[in-house]
Structure 1
Amino acid sequence: MEVSIVHSFFLIFAGAAVIATVALYTRQPLIIAYIALGALLGPSALSLIDEPKLMDEMSHIGIIFLLFLLGLDMQPSHLINMLKKASWVALLSSIVFAGVGYSISLAFGYSQIEASIIGIAMMFSSTIVCIKLLPTTVLHHKHTGELVVGLLLLQDIIAIAVLLVLYSIAGTQESSASQILIPIIGLPSLIAFAFLFVKYVLLKLIAKFDRFHEFIFLVSIGWCLSMAVAAEYLGLSAEMGAFIGGVALATSPISQYIATHLKPLRDFFLVLFFFTIGASFNLELLGLVIVPAIILAVTSMLLKPVVFRYLLKGLKEDASTSWEVGFRLGQVSEFSLLIAYLAASIGLIGIEASHVIQATAILSFALSTYVVILNYPNPIAISDKLRRD
């Protein structure tokens, strides 16, 4: 039976409301509840929603808004300084994580190529989980938040490079050359365009019609999605385009007004994102992948804080800040899910190896969320003492 989009939204959001109530009563993280709901209602269980691909496309908008709002909180001068400082930390840590993931995968009998892809998937931390658990009005303006965001951005750049290589493998030699060249030219061009357009067009329009709140709301959404689409045309990720659009606006006082009014829209789509992760997972393969996935997820959660602790020591960071950054970055990334889907679709890895990456990501999301909400300031903390919006 074909399910309408209204029926699908009813199941997702009514179900999310019920399971969120249960989660709050039992003091569990809401993110985990949304993933569990997706697994329950998705094709592998009750099959009440059998089009997770459609949900995935809609949930992607939530990630775009999340990065746009993050950009609104980042002053360009602070961001550039942090990226310069943390670049070698991001590179060295990625190499270590890839090597460990590769070794563990080989030990479980996966092929050299599959172990390499699993190792690569271990390199990155989740932008969504990390930013979701950062207090938007406190930590973004503090040094810890800047470190986390800087490292995430550098990891995203590495992840985009990996995806470009995979796309080039899937395509012809001619197209792969253009796919590599266009983003190299496109990134600085997009940054220059964003700052010039904001300065000479967008801010003047907002200043002229700032009495009309609906106009500011519409212009903000239009600017965010325009930058996301422009980035995709230039071979970059939509998330990166949205982030650049946010940073370009961050120097204006209007940025905080926009950030406040877009948060409900962001949260709407993020529920879809976490639901889709659960719905997309094939539960029939759980028995085959659960052991390596648990080991990889636990290794990620234990290894990343240690590695970041010692690498950040080279930047003269104190121990408490370094440990907090490491634990906040302890999970695997949504980019890892994309790498798994793409590598499987072009035949580099099998379905089992792809689901190992997916299961590792889901488990690491859960582990990381529990660690952060129980120990560090965050918007969804169980303890009133740690809850910071």
Structure 2
Amino acid sequence: MIHLPTLISDLGLILAAAGVVTLLFKKIKQPLVLGYILAGVLVGPYLDFLPSVKDHESITIWGEIGVIFLLFSLGLEFSFKKLVKVGGSASITAIVKVGFLILAGYFVGKAMGWKDMDSLFLGGILSISSTMITIKAFEELGIKHKKFAGLVFGVLIVEDLVAILLLVLFSTLAVSQQSAGTEMLFSILKLGFFLTLWFLGGIFLVPTFLKATKKLMNDETMLVVSLALCLVMVLLAVQVGFSPALGAFIMGSILAETTQAERIEHLTKSVKDLFSAVFFVSVGMLIDPGVLVEYAFPIIVITLVIILGKIIFTVLGALLAGQPLKTSVQAGMSLAQIGEFSFIIATLGVTLKVTSDFLYPIAVAAAAITTFTTPYLIKLSEPFYNLLTRILPKRWLDAIGRYSTGTEGITRLSDWKVLLRAYTFNTIIHSVIIIAVIFLASRFLQPFIVENIGNGMNGTIISVVISFILMSPFLWALSIRRIQKTAYAHLWLNKKYTRGPLISIEFFRVALGVFFVGFLMYEFFDTWVAAGIALLLTIVGMIVFSRKLQAFYDKLEKRFLLNLNAREAQNAQPEILPWDTHLEELVVAPESSLVGKTLMELSVRENYGVNIALIERGTIMIPTPGREDRLYPHDKVLVIGTDDQLAAIKELFQGNIDEHKEASFPKKDMTLQKIVINSSSPVFGQTIRNSGIRETTQGLVVGIERNGERILNPDSNLIFENEDVVWIVGNNKKVPDLLK
């Protein structure tokens, strides 16, 4: 009789159970994740009335494979450029929410008499919301075009990175079994070092490789290469002491910056779906139904903490970030669940054997309940906001409104801020590269040269020369390269008191470069005399060949930036603005009643309260179109209005096109911005029509705040007064000129 390996038979049983149960969940319109978990419970080792997976090692293996590909797919949707673009609002909201929920989870665990490690892991489990469940709920409810959705997606992006940091910190705590400050700090610095190094190296090498092999890449080859890159990064992450999940996430985020990102995401979707199903089924297999009955009270308590805590702390974080109350409430009630990263954190505790057996099933049960409640909470968010506006004191609502509008608008950075920010990034990036070169040279290059080329002093000299050649462009950029020349010149020429700090900064840069060269010499030479001579020679060489180093570095930087910007990432939604208005791009359908009519005939501003900021017709751009401009089929029209106004006019634009289809993001140069008029402003004392705003900024005045009163769609004869807060939709590069 032919013997079938247990691993294969277990996989067959897992997929069969997942298929049957998820078909049922699809029929009753419930999240598939819950179906997978239920399938895992049914074929798990704790129930005997069905065939079950008996080999716990198989469960662990399939679960680890599932985590790798799940994190790889999350990385493909993440990208570091998205993280940079989410803005301060999403970052502040996410950090406040995660921080308070970790504390809340820890204290709730301690209140129930749990151990410190159980309570800490509970805090981590509660702190991260589910990207998959939230996006799925938004799609099913057709609200991805809503303004608060932009904030929610930004928070989820930041939380993904925070979750990776939590995995590293919890791993360190679990191994050391104590909260040693130095070990925690070392783990954070180590994570930051390798994240920076992998991102820089990945962006420089991976897109170049994909571009060079583009003609050879059919779908099959691209799939194999993508999964190979994922597993190579997994190996690298494990080699330096991180989890396999981190490596998969990093490679996914690197590939997300390439021009092939959409293709890779499409090709790997089936692999991701397969192994994600395996992972969630393996999650269910670790649940003991008896534990759920025994710990019913903690499950109820933790579920309430998740729902109430996430709503309260998300709203608090969003309000602190300057969001309106309505947006804050809608975001808070959209994020009141836990999901895939919570499972991964719980799995980490089980794998490292630092958490109690009951924590894992409790977390999964709470996740299942909050997954069910998420769509209903999202639907109730607007009625709940309306209730708050009725019961909260008017002075509170006015204060929140003033704070919200006061945090928006154009902020002009001082020359010092511009210079220090540029120097900080320059120092961190090039220090990471130089340290990596030194350690790679001392650990791998020198042993190879000594073994294969020459031993003794000859091998050392060859190793030092090669290492220095590799380091020299980055040493030049670290110590000599001039950064932000305009800001530097302003500080040097305009204020004599700034010259001392500027000289100190330049001295620090040079000293840091000398330190790294000395560090290199210390790694290779036994005597200080030899190291000193080598250090002197290398510094002289840097000065002599400065021009050539500059030219070579410029080529490296150009290649890096070309790779980084090759894929035009979709622009982030504009920041939340007053009157709950935002920009949206609508396409004129051929069957639309708008076709062929002038803007004067349509009167969209008078009839719907929206403004048309830009019309894109093929390669032709018409910013702030006039009353005689007409709309034609397939015109892309950038409009500004509230959620309700845009929903009303969308039907006119789209005709019989699905009104829930997600609109594209607005063009990058057209944004809604705030300026404050003062007596020295060029437009002070002039009417809107005579101010030349339309011609100067390609802009349109959509609102004015004056003495606490809001004037929406002001008349063109209105005169600008001192301290008017003016909201303009226009070219984001030209509107700041009004401040001069």
Q: Above 0.5 in TM-score?
A: yes
Distance apart, 1:157 and its partner CA: 1.3
- In the alignment, does 2:312 pair up with 1:312? no
* Structure 2 CA distance for partners of 1:250 and 1:99, relative to 1, 3 Å: closer
Question: Which range moved further: 115-124 or 279-288?
Answer: 115-124
- In the alignment, does 2:170 pair up with 1:166? no
Residue by residue over 1:258-307, the C-alpha shift from the partner in whole angstroms, topping out at 9 and shown as x without a partner, is: 11121111110111111111111233333332211221023212220221
- In the alignment, does 2:32 pair up with 1:25? no
* Distance in 2, Cα, partners of 1:367 & 1:126: 13
Which residue, 324, 334, 348 being the options, matches 2:343? 334
Which residue, 91, 104, 108 being the options, matches 1:104? 108
Distance apart, 1:130 and its partner CA: 5.1
- In the alignment, does 2:74 pair up with 1:67? no
Is the 1:127–1:334 contact (alpha carbons within 8 Å) kept by the matching residues of 2?
Answer: no
Q: Look up the match of 1:195.
A: 203
Distance apart, 1:4 and its partner CA: 1.9
The residue identity in structure 2 corresponding to 1:337 is A
* Distance in 2, Cα, partners of 1:370 & 1:312: 24
Alignment of 1:250-261 (within 5 A): 250-261=256-267
- In the alignment, does 2:272 pair up with 1:266? yes
Alignment of 1:237-256 (within 5 A): 237-256=243-262
- In the alignment, does 2:83 pair up with 1:79? yes
Is the 1:300–1:330 contact (alpha carbons within 8 Å) kept by the matching residues of 2?
Answer: yes
The residue identity in structure 2 corresponding to 1:6 is I
Is the 2:124–2:166 contact (alpha carbons within 8 Å) kept by the matching residues of 1?
Answer: no
Distance apart, 1:44 and its partner CA: 0.8
The residue identity in structure 2 corresponding to 1:147 is V
* Distance in 1, Cα, partners of 2:228 & 2:138: 26
Q: Which has the higher contact order (CA 8 A, sep 6+)?
A: 1
Is the 1:52–1:280 contact (alpha carbons within 8 Å) kept by the matching residues of 2?
Answer: no
* Distance in 2, Cα, partners of 1:369 & 1:63: 20
Where structure 1 has 5 or more consecutive residues not aligned to the other structure, the ranges are 378-383
Q: Look up the match of 2:298.
A: 292
The residue identity in structure 2 corresponding to 1:10 is G
Residue by residue over 1:179-219, the C-alpha shift from the partner in whole angstroms, topping out at 9 and shown as x without a partner, is: 676434322222222112213323322x2313x22111111
Which residue, 191, 208, 221 being the options, matches 2:215? 208
* Distance in 2, Cα, partners of 1:76 & 1:102: 30
Is the 1:124–1:335 contact (alpha carbons within 8 Å) kept by the matching residues of 2?
Answer: no
Distance apart, 1:223 and its partner CA: 1.3
Is the 1:79–1:150 contact (alpha carbons within 8 Å) kept by the matching residues of 2?
Answer: yes
Identity %: 23
Which residue, 115, 118, 124 being the options, matches 2:122? 118
* Distance in 2, Cα, partners of 1:202 & 1:302: 47
Q: Look up the match of 1:228.
A: 234
What is the Cα-based RMSD across aligned positions, in Å?
A: 3.8
Residue by residue over 1:71-129, the C-alpha shift from the partner in whole angstroms, topping out at 9 and shown as x without a partner, is: 33445433223376544444432332133223333333335554444344433334665
Is the 2:75–2:256 contact (alpha carbons within 8 Å) kept by the matching residues of 1?
Answer: yes
Distance apart, 1:386 and its partner CA: 7.9
* Distance in 2, Cα, partners of 1:222 & 1:162: 28
Distance apart, 1:234 and its partner CA: 2.6
Q: Look up the match of 2:702.
A: none
- In the alignment, does 2:99 pair up with 1:95? yes
* Distance in 2, Cα, partners of 1:37 & 1:7: 16
* Distance in 1, Cα, partners of 2:212 & 2:290: 56
Question: Which range moved further: 297-306 or 73-82?
Answer: 73-82
- In the alignment, does 2:152 pair up with 1:144? yes
Question: Structure 1 or 2: larger strand share?
Answer: 2
The residue identity in structure 1 corresponding to 2:349 is A
The residue identity in structure 2 corresponding to 1:365 is A
The residue identity in structure 1 corresponding to 2:220 is E
* Distance in 1, Cα, partners of 2:106 & 2:181: 27
Aligned residues: 372
Which residue, 362, 370, 373 being the options, matches 2:372? 370
Residue by residue over 1:4-43, the C-alpha shift from the partner in whole angstroms, topping out at 9 and shown as x without a partner, is: 2232222222222221222233333222121112112111
* Distance in 2, Cα, partners of 1:59 & 1:342: 11
* Structure 2 CA distance for partners of 1:117 and 1:255, relative to 1, 3 Å: closer
Residue by residue over 1:217-260, the C-alpha shift from the partner in whole angstroms, topping out at 9 and shown as x without a partner, is: 11111112222332232333333333332332333332111111
* Structure 2 CA distance for partners of 1:238 and 1:224, relative to 1, 3 Å: same
Please identify the structure whose Cα radius of gyration is greater: 2
Which residue, 224, 234, 244 being the options, matches 1:218? 224
* Distance in 2, Cα, partners of 1:385 & 1:236: 45
Is the 1:71–1:245 contact (alpha carbons within 8 Å) kept by the matching residues of 2?
Answer: yes
Residue by residue over 1:143-191, the C-alpha shift from the partner in whole angstroms, topping out at 9 and shown as x without a partner, is: 5323312223223313321222212339x99999986764343222222
* Structure 2 CA distance for partners of 1:152 and 1:213, relative to 1, 3 Å: closer
Question: Structure 1 or 2: larger helix share?
Answer: 1
SS at match of 1:122: helix
Q: Look up the match of 2:15.
A: 13
Runs of 4 or more above 4 Å deviation:
83-88, 111-114, 126-136, 138-143, 172-182, 318-321, 373-377, 384-388
Q: Look up the match of 1:380.
A: none
* Structure 2 CA distance for partners of 1:148 and 1:178, relative to 1, 3 Å: closer
SS at match of 1:316: coil
SS at match of 1:16: helix
* Structure 2 CA distance for partners of 1:301 and 1:313, relative to 1, 3 Å: same
The residue identity in structure 2 corresponding to 1:191 is F
* Distance in 2, Cα, partners of 1:302 & 1:177: 32
* Structure 2 CA distance for partners of 1:364 and 1:247, relative to 1, 3 Å: same
* Structure 2 CA distance for partners of 1:179 and 1:149, relative to 1, 3 Å: closer
- In the alignment, does 2:162 pair up with 1:154? yes
Is the 2:203–2:257 contact (alpha carbons within 8 Å) kept by the matching residues of 1?
Answer: no
Is the 1:305–1:326 contact (alpha carbons within 8 Å) kept by the matching residues of 2?
Answer: yes
Is the 2:130–2:337 contact (alpha carbons within 8 Å) kept by the matching residues of 1?
Answer: yes
* Structure 2 CA distance for partners of 1:226 and 1:326, relative to 1, 3 Å: farther
Distance apart, 1:361 and its partner CA: 1.9
* Structure 2 CA distance for partners of 1:8 and 1:386, relative to 1, 3 Å: farther
* Distance in 2, Cα, partners of 1:231 & 1:115: 28
Is the 2:69–2:276 contact (alpha carbons within 8 Å) kept by the matching residues of 1?
Answer: no
SS at match of 2:295: helix
The residue identity in structure 2 corresponding to 1:367 is I
Is the 2:75–2:250 contact (alpha carbons within 8 Å) kept by the matching residues of 1?
Answer: yes
Where structure 2 has 5 or more consecutive residues not aligned to the other structure, the ranges are 380-657, 663-740
* Distance in 2, Cα, partners of 1:45 & 1:104: 31
SS at match of 1:317: coil
* Distance in 1, Cα, partners of 2:115 & 2:47: 30
- In the alignment, does 2:58 pair up with 1:54? yes
Is the 1:194–1:244 contact (alpha carbons within 8 Å) kept by the matching residues of 2?
Answer: no
The residue identity in structure 2 corresponding to 1:71 is G
* Distance in 1, Cα, partners of 2:182 & 2:308: 42
The residue identity in structure 1 corresponding to 2:36 is Y
Residue by residue over 1:346-369, the C-alpha shift from the partner in whole angstroms, topping out at 9 and shown as x without a partner, is: 4xx5x3xx41x2233212321232
Is the 1:306–1:326 contact (alpha carbons within 8 Å) kept by the matching residues of 2?
Answer: yes
TM-score normalised over the length of structure 2: 0.45
Distance apart, 1:339 and its partner CA: 4.6
